[in-house]
Structure formats: structure tokens, C-alpha cells
Structure 1
Amino acid sequence: MRQIEAERWTALDRQLVRDAARGDIIDLAPHPDRQPDAYANFKVTRLRKLETLGLAEQLGPGQWVLTEIARAVLREMGLRGDIIKRIHRGLSERGIERGSASYVLAGESLDDPVLGRLSERGLDDELKGTA
């Protein structure tokens, strides 16, 4: 399942938030009075991934909590990944190969000025028509 390792906000994350609706604690521990969650292994693996990103914390056996900024951070990471993919696709179509480490995104501080040329332009969001 690709959502487990994704560095973006996923449907699995939305399900984790729904699971935590009662008190912010995601309780995946087995309980004798409750039917086992069919996706528990996926959820635990996702929570461990989020923990490595500093976006979740394990409170006890099978109990987790997401940080307040988890959703915003994952959405920003997803947007950044989309931008890098779009840049890479535009360069590849023109036969230009560059590593992703050479890309500069807004908000990064640089010692040297960035020089380049516009290789492609388009809408940032085709549905909204924004550039």
C-alpha cells in the first residue's frame, strides 16, 4: 500500500483522524469486546512512518497521537513533491536531466543567485485556473 510510506496527507491519515475522534488518541490495541480492525497493520506501519517524521507519538502499546501540525506538514510535503515532479517532467520532455537536489523551491535561502530560463509555464491548479 503506497499510502503507508507517502510523504503527503493520505486517505489512511484521514481514517486515523476519524479513529481518534474520541479524545485524540488512536487506539489500535486489541480489545476482547471489539472486532479487530482489518487495517490495523497498515495503520500501525503508517503511524511509525509519521513518528519518524516527528508527526506522531506512541503513548503506549497500540496507542498513538498525531501532532497538531501533522495535517499541515503532510499537505505541504505533498505540494512540494508535486512541484518537483512537475519540474522534472518538464525538463525530461526537453531532454534535460537534473537531479532533484539542484531544484530551488520558495522559502529556501541561497548564498548564490539562481540563474536559468523558463522551460515551461502553465497553471498551478487547472481547476481553479490559478498560476
Structure 2
Amino acid sequence: MENDSVSQSLKLFIVLSRAYKAINEHVNKMIQANGLNPTEFAVLELLYHKGDVPLQQIGGKILIASGSITYVVDKLEQKGLLKRVACPNDRRVTYAQISDAGRQFIEGIFPDHAKRINDLMSSLDESEKEEAIRLLKKLGLPAGKF
């Protein structure tokens, strides 16, 4: 019985990994076609939807190593898509802020990005999507404790 459980767990891991890889490749192609890498897009999307974010918090919000944040922010700043803004109350804190050009840019590509993701998820109906979300949260929350 235990071998069946292990076998099913391994199969689930493989299926989940392959599904993520296939979906992610499609999404990343669209992002790259717009001149960004996936991490740059994630930072820009975060700022667009959440507003100014302290540089120190970006990594935790988009799941990238904190050492990469400076590099990504530098690249987006060079492209004119964001700017650094000093916190008026704490000199140790610097915020990343989307620029007007960055806002225009993301507003121009985000609707297609959202549609692409919706199209990729269209094999599931709404109740199946809700169930998948519930199950993946159930799966992921305990895994975060390891």
C-alpha cells in the first residue's frame, strides 16, 4: 500500500511539473516578445498592481532571490520603466515605483498577458479552476514548512 502512495506522489509531482513547464513556456514567450524577461515583467506587474514597494520586499513578493533584485531594478530603471524613490521617513528604505512610461507599457501588454493565461487555463471550467486552486493551496502550504 505504501509503495502505491509513493508511486502516486511521484506521478503527481511529474504531472504537476510538466503542466507548469508547458504553461510557463507559453507565458514567457509572450513576455520576451515584449522585450522583458519574466523577472522584469513580474516586478513591473507587482508595481502596477500594488503600487510602490520597498526594494527589500520585492523578492519575497515575486519569489526571487534578493540578490537579483538590484540587477532587475537597475535594468528596468535603465529602460525607463521604474524609478527608485527614497522613503521620506526612513533613509534605509528605498521604494521601487513604476514610471509613467512603465505604466503605459504594462497597460499596453497586460490585457494580452491575462488573455493568454485565460486561454491556457480554458481546458478547465470555473468550478474545476476553483477546485485546482483549493487543491494546490492544500498541497503547497505544508510543503512550505520543509
- TM-score (normalizing by structure 1): 0.36
- TM-score (normalizing by structure 2): 0.33
The structure richer in helix per residue is 2
